[in-house]
A and B are shown apart, each in its own frame.
Chain A
Amino acid sequence: MSDSSTLSAAVAALPGWFTLDPVRPQLLGTRCTACGTYYFPRQQLFCRNPDCAGETFEDVALSRTGTLWSYTNAAYPPPEPYVVKEPYQPFGIAAVELERECMIVLGQLARGVDLARLCIGQRMELVLEPLDDGKLIWKWKPAA
């Protein structure tokens, strides 16, 4: 099923932070029109590059693939505001480096990704999956 109209903003854990394309989702950031620095989460008022006076930003969807920078898991249930469904199922977490943006972005690993089979430097892609409370969030999984 690839009908994006079935997904509404109400289902996102962080509305407006990513597209709701069920097949090829992307994180939604901004880019300083003066120096080219990308921002995720979005930055819309002042550029944080200390040498840049930029105050205008363009909306930009971030690269949806990158290389695995590092990874771990959450063996114990995280505290609130994380919502835990019992019985607790540990989940993985990845840090993925986006080449074009020169930026590392964290996210959970998609369900079922085996930590033991991951290798730093491998290609990863962005997907959407529900958190335990059913709200959608972006996750990383090995690129097909």
Chain B
Amino acid sequence: MSKEIAILGVGMHPWGKWGRNFVEYGVKAARDALADAGVTWREVQFVSGAATIRNGYPGQVAGATFAQALGWQGAEVNTSYAACASGAQALAAARAKILAGECELALVVGADTTPKGFLRPAPGERPDDPDWVRFRMGITNPTYFALYARRRMALYGDTLEDFARVKVKNAEHGAENPYARYRKRFTLSEVAASPMVADPLRLMDICATSDGGAAVVVSSLAYAKRIGKADAPRIRAISTVTPTFASALVEMPDIATDSAVAAPAQSFRAALPRKAYEEAGVDPKDVDVAEVYDLSTAMELDWIEDLQLCARGEAAALLRRGETALGGRIPVNPSGGLACFGEAVPAQALAQVCELAWQLRGQAGARQVENARVGITANQGLFGHGSSVIVVRP
């Protein structure tokens, strides 16, 4: 039995710092996705929302919030929270419902409104919360990105110019993307001139936080065939695995790794796509396009290796040869990635899937990867959450 589901439609609200209610972004994205799918809202049987924790009660019951805003019509509802992987987890819930035969047509939505500046923890004196502890010590998100980046420099010889090259590439990719927040091209020297945030990473190496919304309409393959969309892109795998003890890296928001005295240290990032490849029966060398979570420029290089698109330590060489740029062997982040979007947490993993759908349908315009048939996403967030989704063209 096929474990695939069809992506009938996708939609997004442009990313930015709009400062408006997140519901507006989600509903706009949902309406676009429904129109793109050629189905009406009334027909949707299951609404799966990705929660946002910074927008009160409505954010924590996002599925119901979007369903009400679209107009209650009796669909079943779900809300998923999995930090940066919330969108993928909401998508996984829809897939499970469809593959179990409990519904045929589902809408998945994520949207967020974010505050300015560093993300920060809830106030108070709370030493039991690792997120509070690390901020008490002055350890912000860029600290972790910088520690990983420095490690790449020491182990593989990556340079600051390599990191800047990732930004220049992604800025070029995203320049014509109507949904991207930052659509300006940059030069290596402009990246090098941006202020240092967490040595060796500069402001332009680190992704911002954004407002945005993304939605995906998915269905059973039988439903897709019935409405004349048998050739719609298909989701072949969704990995939302947790880490395996012991952690090899100090992960946000921890201040230490697990002790690897009794069990070997393992990479969480590498485990996410591994499960997706296994589930899909896809070999990394078959991948045509990848959307990865470039929280920093250097982290894009980590992901390329975690996705097994090249050997460990060789991502910078791949980048220097232009192979991860549009027109190269394996374009990475043709959407422009987080470098051009900034992170809208519950929407971001869905935005990655939207981009792959457009790429596999040949509708990505100026950022089209030629003849893309197999795409993969990769994303990681706090507290053991992450995702990797494989989308294929039938």
> Which one of B120, B133, B200, B258 has the greatest number of beta carbons of chain A within 10 Å?
B258
1/0 per residue A86-117: CB within 8 Å of B? Answer: 00000101010000011111111000000100
CB <8 Å contact, B135 and A36: no
A39 in the interface, Cβ–Cβ < 8 Å?
yes
Query: Which residue from B198, B256, B262 sits with its C-beta under 8 Å from A37?
Result: B262
Interface mask (B184-224 → A, CB under 8 Å = 1, otherwise 0): 00000000000111111100000000000000000000000
Check B312 for interface membership: any CB of A closer than 8 A.
no
Known: A103-B256, A115-B199. A93 touches B117 (CB 8 A): no
Determine whether the beta carbon of B140 is less than 8 Å from that of A74: yes
Main secondary structure of the interface of B (DSSP, over half): loop
- Which of the candidate stretches B56-64, B147-155, B163-171 sits at the interface with the other chain? B147-155
Residues of B within 8 A of A49 (CB): 245-246, 262-263
Q: Which residues of A contact B134 (CB under 8 A)?
A: 106
Using C-beta atoms within 8 Å of the partner chain, give the interface range for chain A: 35 or more
- Determine the distance from Cα of A78 to Cα of B143 in the docked complex, in whole angstroms: 10
Docked-complex contact B198 and A74, CB < 8 angstroms? yes
- Point out the residues of chain B lying under 8 angstroms from A72, CB to CB: 142-143, 146-147, 150, 198-201
Contact A102 B199 (CB under 8 A): no
Q: Give the residue of A51, A52, A91, A121 whose beta carbon is less than 8 angstroms from that of B138.
A: A91
Nearest chain A residue, comparing its CB with the CB of B154? A120
Contacts A75-B197, A79-B120 known; A13 to B136 CB distance under 8 Å?
Answer: yes
Q: Cβ of B133 and Cβ of A39 under 8 Å apart?
A: no
A75 and B147: CB pair below 8 A? Answer: no
A44-76 interface with B by 8 A CB criterion? 48-52, 69-76
Q: Is the CB of B136 within 8 A of A81?
A: yes
A134 within 8 A of B: no
Given B121, B127, B197, which contacts A76 in the complex, CB threshold below 8 Å? B197
Bound together, the chains give a CA A120 to CA B154 distance in angstroms of: 7
Q: Which of A40, A104, A107, A121 has the most CB of B within 10 A?
A: A104
CB distance from A75 to the nearest CB of B (A): 5
A35 close to B (CB within 8 Å): yes
Do B147 and A95 have beta carbons less than 8 Å apart?
yes
Q: Could you tell me which residues of chain B, from 144 to 182, have a CB within 8 Å of some CB in chain A?
A: 146-148, 150-151, 154
A36 with B261, Cβ < 8 A, contacts A75-B197, A76-B197 known: yes
Q: A14-B136, A79-B135, A108-B138 are in contact. Are A103 and B196 (CB under 8 A)?
A: no
Q: A126 at interface (Cβ–Cβ under 8 A)? A: no
Residue from the list A41, A101, A120 in contact with B151, Cβ < 8 A: A120
Q: Which 6 A-B pairs have the closest CB atoms?
A: A72-B146, A38-B259, A102-B260, A35-B262, A79-B120, A70-B147
Q: Which residues of B contact A (CB under 8 A)?
A: 117-118, 120-121, 123, 125, 127, 130, 132-140, 142-143, 146-148, 150-151, 154, 195-201, 244-246, 249-250, 255-263, 265
6 contacts between A and B (CB under 8 A): A13-B136, A13-B137, A72-B198, A93-B138, A103-B256, A106-B256
Question: 19 extra interchain contacts, Cβ-Cβ under 8 A, other than A13-B137, A74-B138?
Answer: A14-B127, A35-B262, A36-B261, A38-B259, A38-B261, A49-B246, A50-B263, A69-B147, A72-B143, A75-B197, A81-B136, A82-B138, A91-B138, A101-B261, A104-B256, A107-B255, A115-B199, A131-B137, A137-B137
